Amino acid sequence: MKKLFVTFIFMAVSLVLMGQEKPDWMNDNLRSAKFPPNVFLTGFAQRLIEKSISTEIEQAKLDAQADLTKEIRVMIETNSESSVFAQSINGQNVDSDIFKSKSSAETKAEITGMKTETYLDESTNSVYAFAYANKYELIGYYKSDLSVNLGQIESFVKTAQELETNGEKAKARQQLENAIPIFPKIRFAQGILTALLGNNSPEDLQQGKTETYYNTLIQMQARLAQGVYVYVESNESLFGQKVNIVANKVKAELARKGCSFVENPEQADFKLKINVSTRNLSSDGEFLFCNADTIVELYDNHKQKVVYGDEIAQKGGSTTQDKAGRKALDETALKIIEKIKNWIQ
């Protein structure tokens, strides 16, 4: 039943296409008259029907769209290469050579406002496709798109600056990372506008504003990358006595690695929770042995998730219960440092 339905759909598509009148764009002269090059971008494709009609129709559409996109790429390369360049932000490639990968024959074009029509010619056993886009509509759309994206970046950067001023480093860094994926969209819009307007419209391309935001973002990231803020929450019991042996030792070691410590967990890059208590194990007459039972959890505020969690049981021994407990706590701190050092960078 399903196969019959699919067959029916293919037949219906074929009948509709074959019933079409031959469109004007099939004729070179009529196509140029109806879609003049000074107003429209166009792409044309023809495919022999070697597979199913629906498959050839879709491929013809893609070919025509790629043909149109190729025209834009050529226009950009002709007008200017100065506005089409690659940048790298925090190790992420922000490549604005937008048509290197987006306008090949195998890739569906990403031009907003592009329309595509098809025609099936039974006499030649071929499918034809025609893609077109009004240049002035594209200019209007991508000018607006450019302004919207720049507005978003401005908002993220301003918020990051306010958070940095208030000492909320992790949140500031997150705002900047939210801005990073917008830059390729801006370069994409600038590339199309460069193709359509040439290199004589700096106000339309808003390149000065783009570079200002880019430089501000890079400088802020460099500042925020210096050192890591850690909030430590510790609950330590040495046979019922409240102590901070593990927390103090861990803090001292992390400080040597360049970390700073905050009292407000919301201002931290990482939140470290330590819960530890000691219990007696055994005695051999001269030495007492005990265990320090620990639950440790490291939360990354930036990633919004726990990146490390574990339960640690550490044995300690000495001549007194207090010394044995402290020995176990000291060794526990060393284990925690070893476990989390690769996460806190």
How are beta strands 241-243 and 305-318 bridged, if at all? unpaired
Query: Can you tell me the mean pLDDT for 154-158?
Result: 95
Closest-CA residue to 194 (of 143, 134, 234, 129): 143
CATH topology of domain 2-134: Thiol Ester Dehydrase; Chain A (3.10.129)
**pLDDT (0 to 100) of residue 83:** 41
Query: If phi over 0 gives left and psi between -120 and 50 gives alpha, with beta otherwise, what is residue 120?
Result: beta
User: Which of 161-165, 192-196, 239-243, 285-289: highest mean pLDDT?
Assistant: 239-243
Kindly report the CATH class assigned to 228-340: alpha beta
205-246 pLDDT, tens digit per residue, is 888 889 899 999 999 988 887 778 899 999 999 999 999 999
Query: If phi over 0 gives left and psi between -120 and 50 gives alpha, with beta otherwise, what is residue 26?
Result: alpha
Residue 277 has pLDDT above 70, yes or no: yes
**pLDDT (0 to 100) of residue 17:** 46
Residue 43: beta bridge partners?
131
- How far apart, in whole angstroms, are the C-alpha atoms of residue 24 and residue 35? 10
- How far apart, in whole angstroms, are the C-alpha atoms of residue 121 and residue 178? 50
Q: What is the identity of the amino acid at 283?
A: S
- How far apart, in whole angstroms, are the C-alpha atoms of residue 194 and residue 271? 47
Instruction: Identify whether the C-beta of residue 185 lies closer than 8 Å to the C-beta of residue 149.
Output: yes
- How far apart, in whole angstroms, are the C-alpha atoms of residue 308 and residue 306? 6
| b/e 266-282 (16+ beta carbons within 10 angstroms → b) | ebbbbbbbbbbbbeeee
Q: What is the identity of the amino acid at 35?
A: F
Higher pLDDT, 246 or 69: 246
Q: What is the mean pLDDT of the chain?
A: 81
**pLDDT (0 to 100) of residue 96:** 37
Residue 237: beta bridge partners?
242, 277
- How far apart, in whole angstroms, are the C-alpha atoms of residue 103 and residue 99? 5
Q: Enter the DSSP assignment of 291.
A: E
Strand order in the sheet with 115-121: 40-48, 126-134, 115-121
User: Domains of the chain: which residue ranges?
Assistant: 2-134, 137-224, 228-340
